Structure 1
Amino acid sequence: MEQVVSCYRHPDRETGVSCARCGRPICPDCMVSASVGFQCPSCLNEGRQTAPPPPRTVAGAVLAKRPPLVTIALILANVALFAAVHSNAALVQQLALNPAEIAQGQYYRLITAVFLHQALAHIGMNMLSLWWIGPAVENALGRARYLALYLVAGLGGSALSFLLLPANEYGLGASGAIFGLLGALFVLVRRVGGDLRQVVIVIVLNLVLTFSISGIDWRAHVGGLITGAAIAYGMVHAPRARRALVQWGTCAGMLVVVLVVITVGVVVR
């Protein structure tokens, strides 16, 4: 005669099923589907507690293939503003970086200029560069850290432009932030011991073009490159025990440096 047993968690319920891990009888309410048979809730919780943590990148991001949502959102924001500019040309004058206007208190131009493009070729090249470089940096840093680096690097490029650009000239474009991503990519590849030659070649070629072609704001490129590299260095070298503190502290510290540059710009203007 088959012996009737009761669920160890619900003694009033008879069952013929046992946990595949501990062998204790479990009723349908306690059955959790596993790769082989069923497990009870207790064994499932124990398995979760003893499971190894997911692998992470040198910056602490979970190592997994995820869609580059932040990069896509940044591209869409740039394209949306580009479309708005073409339907209202006056927006370029209102949103572009202009030292004289910023010195009078229009500080919003320091960030709106980072998302502003006027020519189709300009936004096309910048968005292609963002799509080529952004996903790798986003996956390595994680979405929040990546977005912070992009924005602060873009602001760093704007700050140096504000400080050094002739008063009545205009600056615009995502190039400063993208140079920040190039600086971050260099730091990341160096940290993991990868081959730096391709990254160095890309950076050098872009700097040569920056200083060779008239009309390109080299100040934004250099400011973004330095800011992005500095932030990335703090992120990938942060000690694991204090990773978040050091990483966000680095972002905050570089933001303070950028604000100091802006303040100096206001004074000298």
Structure 2
Amino acid sequence: MTERSGQAGDATNGPVPTAPVCYRHPDRATYVRCTRCDRPICPECMREASVGHQCPECVSEGRRSVRPARTAFGGGAAGRQGYVTKTLIALNVLVMLLSIVLARSGTAVAGGGLGGLLGGSTPLTRWGGVLAYASYVPFGPLHGIAAGEWYRLITAMFLHYGLVHLLLNMWALWVLGRTLEAVLGPLRFLALYLIAGLGGNVAAYLFSPQNSSTVGASTAIFGLFAAIFVIMRRLGRDTSAILPILVINLVFTFTVPGISIAGHLGGLVTGALMALVLAYAPRMRRTLFQAAGGTIIALVLLGLVLVRTAMLAG
């Protein structure tokens, strides 16, 4: 009887086992497996994890399941960078430069109110300021919001009479805006700013003489003053430093000639209302409640504009 010795690959011992290959690169052998799905992964596909390594698909799936960081009022964490505040400041500065260029006169920079510190009117401020219903020249065509120029309710908050007027408002926006944007998030802060500015301009339209024109970001700035008080109170923080600054600004509003009292108070009230909506929205349906509240405020302002327009042009 003859003997047979077993050899690799013969029928007695079976095939030689082969090394597993990467699921993304079949030509690469590997003994490392994804700690989540257990698929073989080569060094190129390995992604560091808290324990072991993961494949690219499991890493992407894990990122999708992680909720993005939100502020206390539902806003995005990107607000900490202050992008909206910086953009608003840049936009106001660019509009001021355009206003000076179009004026072709030194009075656009200085020579107006406050003993010559504030600049005078320019073609751009005349075009975009809050004007109720009047003509630019005697017996000329009528202009203003009642004449259908509703864009003035928005453009007026980006226009200024001279550099001093601009610098005072932009300093306040820089101080208040960064804090509020970080707390509220970019979109909610932008909504607050625009609605407060709109509210101030609507108040100027309602209560100012129909032939007077007003411009300035201070309508929105006063809204930010009210909002930061409401927001800080909601967060349980100290607000003792805010009230004196707000009182000083109100004193200037009532004592300095040429300042739109209605515009400042309108922005203050509207900003406070919008801040209350943002700060006290129920957590379960916060975004829906905030959006609905902002829409209601905007619709009320629109209704007031319609009433005033009917009174002037009806």
Q: What TM-score results when the alignment is normalised by the length of structure 2?
A: 0.76
Separation of aligned partners in 1, 2:79 and 2:126? 41
Q: Which residue of 1 aligns with 2:126?
A: 93
Conserved 8 A contact 1:188-1:232:
yes
Select which of 93, 105, 117 maps to 2:160: 117
The match for 1:40 is 55
Where does residue 254 of structure 2 map in the other structure?
A: 211
Q: Which amino acid aligns with 1:176?
A: T
Question: How do 1:245-264 residues align onto structure 2 when only pairs under 5 Å count?
Answer: 245-264=288-307
Is 2:102 the partner of 1:73? Answer: no
Kindly indicate whether residue 42 of structure 2 is the aligned counterpart of residue 27 of structure 1.
yes
Alpha-carbon distance in structure 1 between the residues aligned to 2:24 and 2:125: 70
Tell me the percent identity.
Answer: 43
Count of residues paired in the alignment: 266
Cα distance per residue 1:90-113 (max 9 Å; x no partner): 222222111112222221111111
Q: Looking at both structures, which has the greater relative contact order when contacts are Cα pairs under 8 Å and sequence separation is at least 6?
A: 1
Greater Cα offset, 136-145 or 8-17: 8-17
Q: Partner letter of residue 163 of structure 2?
A: L
Q: Do 2:22 and 2:29's aligned partners in 1 also have CA atoms closer than 8 Å?
A: no
8 Å CA contact 1:137–1:185 kept in 2: the answer is: yes
Say which is worse superposed, 152-161 or 138-147, in terms of deviation: 138-147
Runs of 4+ in 1 over 6 A off after TM superposition: 21-24
Compare CA radii of gyration and give the structure with the larger one.
2
C-alpha deviation, 1:26, in angstroms: 2.6
Q: 1:61 aligns to what SS in structure 2? A: coil
Distance 2:147 2:58 in 1: 66
1:154 matches 2:197 = yes
1:171-192 Cα offsets, whole Å, 9 max, x none, are 1100001111112111110111
Judge conservation of contact 1:176–1:225 (CA < 8 Å) in 2. yes
Unaligned runs of 5+ in 2: 1-16, 104-122, 134-143
CA contact (8 A) 1:4 1:15 kept: no
Amino acid across the alignment from 1:80: L
8 A Cα contact 1:163 1:264, kept in partner: no
State the match for 2:108 in structure 1.
Answer: none
- 1:98/1:109 contact within 8 Å kept: yes
In 1, the alpha carbon distance for the partners of 2:250 and 2:49 equals: 55
Q: Give the match's secondary structure for 2:130.
A: coil
Q: CA deviation at 1:145?
A: 1.6
Q: 1:213 to 1:198 in 2, by over 3 A?
A: same
Q: Does the alignment pair 1:196 with 2:239?
A: yes
The structure-2 alpha-carbon separation of the partners of 1:110 and 1:27, relative to structure 1 and needing over 3 Å to count, comes to same
- 2:22·2:30 contact (CA, 8 Å) conserved in 1? no
Query: Could you list the per-position Cα deviations for residues 225-246 of structure 1 after superposition, in whole angstroms to 9, with x for gaps in the alignment?
Result: 1111111211122122212211
Deviation at 1:64, TM superposition (A): 5.8
C-alpha distance in 1 between matches for 2:225 and 2:217 = 13
The letter of the residue matching 2:279 is V
- The structure-2 alpha-carbon separation of the partners of 1:262 and 1:6, relative to structure 1 and needing over 3 Å to count, comes to same
Give, as a single letter, the amino acid of the residue that structure 2 aligns with 1:67: Q
Normalised TM-score (structure 1): 0.88
Whichever structure has more helix as a proportion of its residues is 1
Indicate the residue corresponding to 2:75 in structure 1.
61
One-letter amino acid matched to 1:99: A
User: In 2, distance between residues paired with 1:110 and 1:50?
Assistant: 43
Q: What are structure 1's unaligned runs of at least 5 residues?
A: none
Residue correspondence of structure 1 range 156-235 to structure 2 within 5 A: 156-235=199-278
Contact kept? 1:85, 1:118, Cα under 8 Å: no
Structure 1 residue 77: deviation in Å?
1.2
Determine if the alignment matches structure 1 residue 134 to structure 2 residue 148. no
Counterpart Cα distance in 2 of 1:39 and 1:244: 35
> 1:56 Cα shift?
2.6
